[in-house]
Amino acid sequence: SAAPITSDPPEHTPARKLLLPAFAPKEIAKLEGRARAVCRALLDAIGDAPTCDGAVDYAQHIPVRVIARMLGVDENKGDLFRDWINRTLVEGVRNPAVAMSAMQEQSAFFKEQVELRRKTPGDDLVSFLLRAEFEGKPLTEPHIIGTLRLILIAGIDTTWSGIGAAIWHLATHPADRKRL
């Protein structure tokens, strides 16, 4: 089977279903405490500053840290992850070589993570994918790496965009803030 990043329905459907247990409500609930702690720490860091950039100072950090936790990697990889996303989705649109370079770096990073989990499995998404099977066979390394790249890029970009849009809306619509 192909990784969800490289397939469309109907081939995409089994790859997506394979991930459902890792994203089940009880699994995501395990991340809630850490996500709340990250949000509180970011707000504390902004503190009483007269201004801040809601996207850069807040929204971009939350999914980076939570997804790092899901992947079983250091939460301080945020700058690296943000760089990959920028090079893939912003600079890479104008310069495909930049996007290709970022994708190669991601693949090398995830290949290293796969090798580490083969030696020492954990309670993380990389280990989950190493244990997963499709039609009775283990997932191929390209499938695992493609899936991890998809989760990293799509999960972070979509989430920080949603958080940033919510902050912008609340900042520009004071009546909606009162209803919270």
- Residue 5, pLDDT > 90, answer no
Task: Flag whether pLDDT at 17 surpasses 90.
Answer: no
Mean pLDDT, the chain, integer: 90
Q: Is the pLDDT of residue 113 over 70?
A: yes
CB of 151 closer than 8 Å to CB of 125: yes
Q: Which two tokens stand for residue 172?
A: 């520009």
- Render pLDDT for 42-99 as a digit per residue (tens, 0 to 9): 999 998 889 989 888 999 999 999 999 999 999 999 889 999 999 999 999 999 999 9
What band does 176 get if pLDDT is binned at 50, 70 and 90? confident
Beta-bridged to residue 138, according to DSSP, are 133
Q: What's the confidence (pLDDT) of residue 127?
A: 97
Strands 133-134 and 137-138: antiparallel
